[in-house]
Each structure stands twice: as C-alpha cells, then as structure tokens.
Chains A and B, each alone.
Chain A
Amino acid sequence: MKSSVMRNALGWVGLYGLWTTMIVVTIIPIYWMIVVSARSRVELFDAPTLLIKSFYAPNYLKPLTDPIFQRYLVNSLVIATSNALLVTALALLATYALSRWRLPGADNIFFWTITQRMAPPAAFVLPIFLIYTRVFKIGDWTLFDTQLGLILLYCVFNLPFAVWLMKGIMDGIPVELDEAAFVDGAGRWTVLARVVVPLVAPGLAITFILSWIFAWNEYLFAANLTSVNARTITTGLAAFVSVTGTNWGEMAAVATLAILPALIFLVFVQRYIVTGLTFGAVKE
C-alpha cells in the first residue's frame, strides 16, 4: 500500500517535471526573441539575462513606419488572404464534385500533386521563375514580382491538403439532403449555397486558416519570384541576415511580428492542426 502511494507520487513528480522542462525548453527561444526585440543595441551585449527591464520601442517603430516594410506587410496580408480565399473556394467546389459525382481518375490527380510537396522546393524555383518571366508575358507585364504570381503558386501547396481535408467533411454530409432540396425544386447552385455550405462552414473556416498560415509562412518562392513590388514579410526578415552590421533588436522585432498572426490563429485551429498537417490521414 505504502509503496504504491510512493510510486504514484513519483509518477506525478516525473510527469510534471517532464512537462515543465518541455515547456521551458519550448518557450525560451521564443521568449528570448521577444527579450532581444525589447533591447537597444548597447544593452544587448551585456551578460545575457532573461529579464525585460525596459522596452526599447524603436526596434518596432522603425520597421513599422518604414514604407518599404509596410509594403512587405501589406503584401503578405494580401497574398495570404487571397490565397486562402481562393483555395477554400476551389476546395469547396472540387470536393463537392468529388463527393457527389464519380469522376474516373480525379483522385489520382490529387495524389500526383502531393509528390510536388516531396521535392526540394529549390528544384521548382527555376522552372517557375522561367515560366513566370517568359511564358506568362503580356507586353512588359509578367507574373514575376506580382502578388497574383505568389497567390497562384501557393495553390500548389495548399490545394492538395485543402481538398483532402474538405473531402472527409463533404463525404460526411448525406446526399439525401441534396436530393430533398432537388425535390423541392432547388437548382445545383442553390443546393450548394443553401444546404451544403452552412453544413461545411466550420471545415471551410479551418481550411481557410491553415492555408492562410502556410501562405504567410512561405519564404523560398517569395524570395526568388519577387524583386521589389511583391516582397513579403518573410523575405524582409531573411534580408536582415545578409545585410552587414545586422541590427539584431530590429530583426527580433520583425520576427516577432511575423509569427504573431499565426500564433493568434493557432488558438482557433489547435484541434485541427494534426488533420491539416497530415493531409487528413490522421484525425484528432
């Protein structure tokens, strides 16, 4: 009896010890970034402490008032939001088609697109660059360095996952509901808008948020397919490294701003993040 109580107590100590360690290790790098973002250049080279004694606002104010950085931020917002809207709308139509019609070969196409995700992204930087600068060309206008270029490109990463996520949800809605509406004289589009969409709305929200996060986070293509006009916040962040005499405080501030929206969104999609990241293979 006594030994089992002892063992139980040890188990609790072990459990909380393990998790406290994990949380400390997880949080410290993020916390340190915020600490650095709150310090001036002089304070930084004192011995490292984890305390935030004062808040050095210029680290945040300088990028936020800089028109170039503002443009990066706006670009990121526009690109991520448009891409997420586009992906969600297309996934809705596509999964409605896949779940209500038997279309030979359609599933294979989506399986094929996932192989795109397996390849090193660097492998596709060149062909996309060449296609954007040479094939999609109307006079002087090309897809290179445009928001539209990145919005379309991110579909390659987001559409397969969105389709697989939505497919499971769409299959869960009984066809009888569609048919009942048809009997009442509704057309295809009415059924889709009035019957199906309200039922899959939570799924659409999750698809939107996850696509948004992936698009917001992308770096490699954004860096190589833009030069001036369509640069995003991730490329702005990476630029801090190559610039000589790096201003670490400012870089930390920009990095903090870059992860903030995704962390806020995480609150809403926490339960679905596994489904999203495993392409619907594992459900939580």
Chain B
Amino acid sequence: MRSNRMGWALLAPTLAILAVVGFLPFLYVLYVGLFDWNPFSNQLGMQWAAVNNYRRLVFDGAFLDSLWRTGLFAFVSVSIELSLGFLLAQTLVKNFPGRTVFRTLYVLPLVMAPIAVGATWRLLTIPGFGPIPYFLDKWFGIDYRLGTFADQAFLTVVLMDVWHWTPFVTLTLLAGLTAMPKEPLEQAQVDGANRWQVFRYLTIPMMMPVLLTVIFIRLMDALRVVDEVFMLTSGGPGTATQFIGIHIYRVVVPKTDYGYGSAMSLLVLYFTIVLCWLLFIALAQVGKQRE
C-alpha cells in the first residue's frame, strides 16, 4: 500500500547529516591512524606507517598511565554516585512535605554546562579566597593546594563529578523504583522478610535493567570527561588528573601528532565499545532471567 521510498525520503536529511559529520570523521580517523603525520615536524606530509602507531601505544607509559587514571576515576566516582543515588532515590519514593522543593533544587547541577561546573569548582578552590582551602585550614589545619598535591586534585575532581552527576543517577533510579510493581515487596514483608532481605533479593534484581542502564551511561560519560576537569585542574598537577580525553587532546592539538592521536582515539573508542557491549550482554541476560 505504501511505498518505502517516501519513508526513506523522510529519513534522508537525517541520514545525510549523520553521514557527513558522524560517519565520515570516523572513517577519517581510521585512515589517518595508519600514517605518521605531524604537520609541524620536519618530514613533509603523511608517511605510511601501517600498524606502527598501534605498536607504539602498547609501550607508551604516559598513555597507559592516563588510561589507568581514567579507569580509576570512572570506577571511584561512579561507585559513589550509585550508592549515594540509590539511597537518595529510595527516600524519594514516598511523598513527604517538601519533597518537590528538595528535588527541584537538587537537580540544578544537571543542566549546567560542564565548563561552568569546572568554573564553579575553581572558584571554590582558589588559594586565597576559595572557601574550601580557607575552611579546611582554619578548622582542620589541612594544607589544601589543588595545584600542588596530586591526591587532593584527584579527590576534588571525583567530588566535582559526584556533585554534578549524582542527581542524574538519583532521578533515573527513582524512575525505576516508581515503576516497580509493589505487590511482591508487600507480599515479602507479610511473609516476614526483613528490610535487608527485601532489598537484596527483590529490589536489586528487579532494578537490574535500570541499574545497568545508569552504569552504562555514567561509565561512558566518566571515561570521556574533558571540559570540567580541564577548567578545574587543566589535567594537573603534573599528570594527576590528565584523563584520557585530555591526553588525546594534548597529543592531537598542541603536539599536532595527528597519526598517533588518531590511533589512540580508535583504541580508546574500541575499549569503550567493548565495555559497553559487555554491559549490554549483562542487560540482555537479566532481561531473559526475568522472563
């Protein structure tokens, strides 16, 4: 009755734009990754390098170090966000006076530009007038200097991420908790299960799809973080907060090592896809068990 031609015609503009600004760059990265190419080095143009760029990566200490830091950052901040978010989401399931006000104020950081989040935290931590160094010194005698101590910088970046993204985790888990059927929980309580048992054997399994979705999205974003960290610490002190996004940026933009940077990008993209793929499989498994 209807021809597919009209359908494709309606899709065409969308596909055209995605092809040009989405697919073309991807192919280009793939291509450039096979060359030695640094426009500001003394050799001219692109030199065929086959898989040399990829071979270099395996022995590149700075790259591996940055990868490890990024993983640590993603693991620590996403764990905190999940635990805190789950706790907060559970308190929001039942209505109580003031709930809407709390919720509205609480999600404000969610729509802030990452670069503005970085600016906000920079203002909090500037030595001289930022309240964090001032009160840490006054109350606890802690010498807080973001630009000097690597551990403090790392912790501050984690805190900033927790501040920025826990509202997202909370709201999403709350959506999941609200959609959950109530009968099994009530039945279990009638049968004499205690709170912990209900949580462990009913809430967690039923929430698994939503939990995995949240982990998936948060991990993906934590692994590619750039803007706010760049604004707060610029990757320093030293390389303490030079996560992979910033590392690639440094190789590609200031150092103009195009070929090597492209190979690095592809490898990181590959890692992320594998990680997300594993999560998807886990998600599908959980879905099957439910049926």
Contact in complex: B116, A18 (CB < 8 Å): no
* Whole-angstrom CA separation of A16 from B101 in the bound complex: 12
A199 on the B face (CB < 8 A): no
B131 on the A face (CB < 8 A): yes
Contact in complex: B91, A15 (CB < 8 Å): yes
Contact in complex: A155, B17 (CB < 8 Å): yes
B50 on the A face (CB < 8 A): no
Contact in complex: A97, B10 (CB < 8 Å): yes
Contact in complex: A100, B223 (CB < 8 Å): no
A76 to chain B, nearest CB (A): 10
Contact in complex: A36, B123 (CB < 8 Å): yes
Contact in complex: A25, B269 (CB < 8 Å): no
Interface string of A260-284 (1 = CB under 8 A from B): 0011011000100110011101111
Contact in complex: B134, A48 (CB < 8 Å): yes
What residue in chain A is nearest B70 (Cβ atoms)?
A120
CB interface residues, A 110-139, toward B, < 8 Å: 112-113, 115-128, 130-131
Contact in complex: A101, B15 (CB < 8 Å): no
Q: Which of A25, A36, A113 contacts B163 (CB 8 A)?
A: A25
Interface of chain A, helix or strand or loop or mixed? helix
Query: Given the interface contacts A237-B119, A278-B217, A282-B210, does A101 sit within 8 Å of B252 by beta carbon?
Result: no
Listed residue (B4, B112, B246, B266) with the most chain A CB atoms within 10 angstroms of its CB:
B112
Interface string of B75-108 (1 = CB under 8 A from A): 0000000000000100100001010001011111
Q: Collect the chain B residues with CB atoms within 8 Å of residue A1's CB.
A: none
Listed residue (B10, B32, B266) with the most chain A CB atoms within 10 angstroms of its CB:
B10
On chain A, the number of residues with a Cβ less than 8 Å from chain B's Cβ atoms is 91
* Whole-angstrom CA separation of A123 from B163 in the bound complex: 26
Contact in complex: B172, A122 (CB < 8 Å): no
Q: Collect the chain A residues with CB atoms within 8 Å of residue B272's CB.
A: 118-119
* Whole-angstrom CA separation of A106 from B26 in the bound complex: 19
Q: Which of A30, A102, A155, A240 contacts B18 (CB 8 A)?
A: A155
B234 on the A face (CB < 8 A): yes
Q: Collect the chain A residues with CB atoms within 8 Å of residue B131's CB.
A: 28, 32, 48, 50
Q: Which of B8, B129, B130, B266 contacts A103 (CB 8 A)?
A: B8
B192 to chain A, nearest CB (A): 17
A10 on the B face (CB < 8 A): no
Q: Collect the chain A residues with CB atoms within 8 Å of residue B172's CB.
A: 274, 277-278, 282
- Which residues on B are within 8 Å of A, measured CB to CB? 2, 4, 6-11, 13-15, 17-18, 20-26, 28-29, 32, 88, 91, 96, 98, 102, 104-116, 119-124, 126, 128-131, 134-135, 163, 167-168, 171-172, 174-176, 178-179, 210, 213-214, 217, 220, 223-224, 226-227, 230-231, 234, 244-246, 248-249, 252-253, 258, 261-262, 264-266, 268-269, 272-273, 276
- Which residues on A are within 8 Å of B, measured CB to CB? 15-16, 18-19, 22-23, 25-30, 32-33, 36, 44-48, 50, 90-91, 93-94, 96-98, 100-103, 106, 109, 112-113, 115-128, 130-131, 152-153, 155-156, 159, 163, 188, 213, 216-220, 224, 234, 237-238, 240-241, 248, 251-252, 255, 258-259, 262-263, 265-266, 270, 273-274, 277-279, 281-284
